[in-house]
Amino acid sequence: MPEPGYVKQLRDLVGPAHVLTDEGITSGFVSDWTGRFVGSTPAVVRPADVDEVAAVLTLCSKHGVSVVTQGGNTGLVGGGVPLNGEIVVSLTRLTDLGEIDRDARAVTAGAGVTIGALQRHAEVAELDYPVDLASRDSATVGGTIATNAGGLRVMRFGPTRSQVRGIEAVLSDGRVIRHLDGLVKDNTGYDLGGLLCGSEGTLAIITAARLRLVPQRPERAVALVGFTSVRSAIAAAGQWSATVPDVEAIEFITAAGIGLLATHLALAPPFDPLPPAMLLVEAAGRTDPTAGLAEVVTGTDGVEDAAVASTSLDRHRLWRYREAHTEAINLEGVKTSPPHKLDVTLPQGELASFVEAVPEVVAGVAPRARTWLFGHAGDGNVHVNVTGIEGAGRSVDEAVLGLVASLGGSISAEHGIGTAKVQWLHLNRSEAELEVFRALRRAMDPAGILNPAVLVPR
Ligand code: 2HG
Ligand code: ZN
Instruction: Please tell me the distance from the alpha carbon of residue 205 to that of residue 94, in angstroms, as a whole number.
Output: 12
Instruction: Please tell me the distance from the alpha carbon of residue 82 to that of residue 19, in angstroms, as a whole number.
Output: 15
For residue 198, CA distances in Å to 109, 314, 389 come to 18, 35, 28
Is residue 269 within 8 A of residue 321, CB to CB? The reply is: no
Identical fold between 219-326 and 336-413: yes
CB atoms closer than 10 angstroms to residue 138: 17
421 ligand 1 Cβ < 6 A: no
Instruction: Please tell me the distance from the alpha carbon of residue 401 to that of residue 422, in angstroms, as a whole number.
Output: 12
Counting from 1 in the atom list of ligand 1, the atom nearest the Cα of 150 is 6
Amino acid 237: pLDDT: 98
| Euclidean distance between the first and the last CA atom of the chain, given in angstroms as a whole number | 26
SS3 assignment, position 71: coil
324 ligand 1 Cβ < 6 A: no
Q: Closest residue (by CA) to atom 8 of ligand 1? A: 326
Instruction: Please tell me the distance from the alpha carbon of residue 419 to that of residue 412, in angstroms, as a whole number.
Output: 12
Tens-place pLDDT, residues 221-261: 999 999 999 999 999 999 999 999 999 999 999 999 999 99
391: left (phi over 0), alpha (psi -120 to 50) or beta: left
Q: Closest residue (by CA) to atom 9 of ligand 1? A: 326
Amino acid 438: pLDDT: 98
Is residue 70 within 8 A of residue 456, CB to CB? The reply is: no
Amino acid 164: pLDDT: 98
Residue 110 amino acid letter = G
Residue 452 amino acid letter = P
Give, for 344, the enclosing helix (H) or strand (E): strand 340-345
CATH for 106-215, among 1.10.10.60, 3.30.465.10, 1.10.8.350, 3.30.750.24? 3.30.465.10
Strand order in the sheet with 87-90: 19-20, 44-45, 87-90, 67-70
Counting from 1 in the atom list of ligand 1, the atom nearest the Cα of 326 is 8
CATH T-level fold of 5-90 = 3.30.43
* HEC profile of 271-330: CCCCCCEEEEEEEEECCCCHHHHHHHHHCCCCEEEEEEECCHHHHHHHHHHHHCHHHHHH
341 ligand 1 Cβ < 6 A: yes
Amino acid 310: pLDDT: 86
Instruction: Choose among 374, 373, 352, 351: nearest CA to 362.
Output: 373
Pocket test for ligand 1, best of 77, 325, 332 (most atoms within 8 A of CB): 325
Q: Are strands 205-212 and 106-110 parallel, antiparallel or unpaired?
A: antiparallel
Kindly identify the ligand whose nearest atom is closest to the C-alpha of 74.
1
136 ligand 1 Cβ < 6 A: no
Interior angle at CA 175, CA 173 and CA 178, nearest 5: 145
CB atoms closer than 10 angstroms to residue 347: 12
**62 Cβ contact list (under 8 Å, min separation 6):** none
Average pLDDT of the chain is 97
* HEC profile of 227-251: ECCHHHHHHHHHHHHHHCCCEEEEE
Give, for 259, the enclosing helix (H) or strand (E): helix 255-265
Residue 249 phi/psi, 5-degree rounding, is -150, 135
Instruction: Please tell me the distance from the alpha carbon of residue 424 to that of residue 128, in angstroms, as a whole number.
Output: 36
Cα 343 to middle of ligand 1, angstroms: 8
340 ligand 1 Cβ < 6 A: no
342 ligand 1 Cβ < 6 A: no
Amino acid 108: pLDDT: 98
55 ligand 1 Cβ < 6 A: no
Interior angle at CA 241, CA 104 and CA 160, nearest 5: 40
Kindly identify the ligand whose nearest atom is closest to the C-alpha of 384.
1
Which residue ranges make up each domain of the chain? Answer: 5-90, 106-215, 219-326, 336-413
Q: Are strands 67-70 and 87-90 parallel, antiparallel or unpaired?
A: parallel
CATH number of 219-326: 3.30.70.2190
Residue 449 phi/psi, 5-degree rounding, is -105, -10
CATH number of 336-413: 3.30.70.2740
Residue 406 amino acid letter = S
Q: Closest residue (by CA) to atom 6 of ligand 1? A: 151
Pocket test for ligand 1, best of 138, 383, 415 (most atoms within 8 A of CB): 383
Tens-place pLDDT, residues 290-334: 999 999 999 999 999 999 998 999 999 999 999 999 999 999 998
Cα 241 to middle of ligand 1, angstroms: 20
10-residue mean pLDDT profile of the chain (458 residues): values are 91 98 97 96 98 98 98 98 98 98 98 98 98 98 98 98 98 98 93 98 98 97 98 97 97 98 98 98 97 96 96 97 97 91 97 97 97 97 96 97 98 98 98 98 97 96
C-alpha 69 chain-centroid distance: 15
Cα 151 to middle of ligand 2, angstroms: 5
330 ligand 1 Cβ < 6 A: no
Q: Are strands 127-128 and 164-170 parallel, antiparallel or unpaired?
A: unpaired
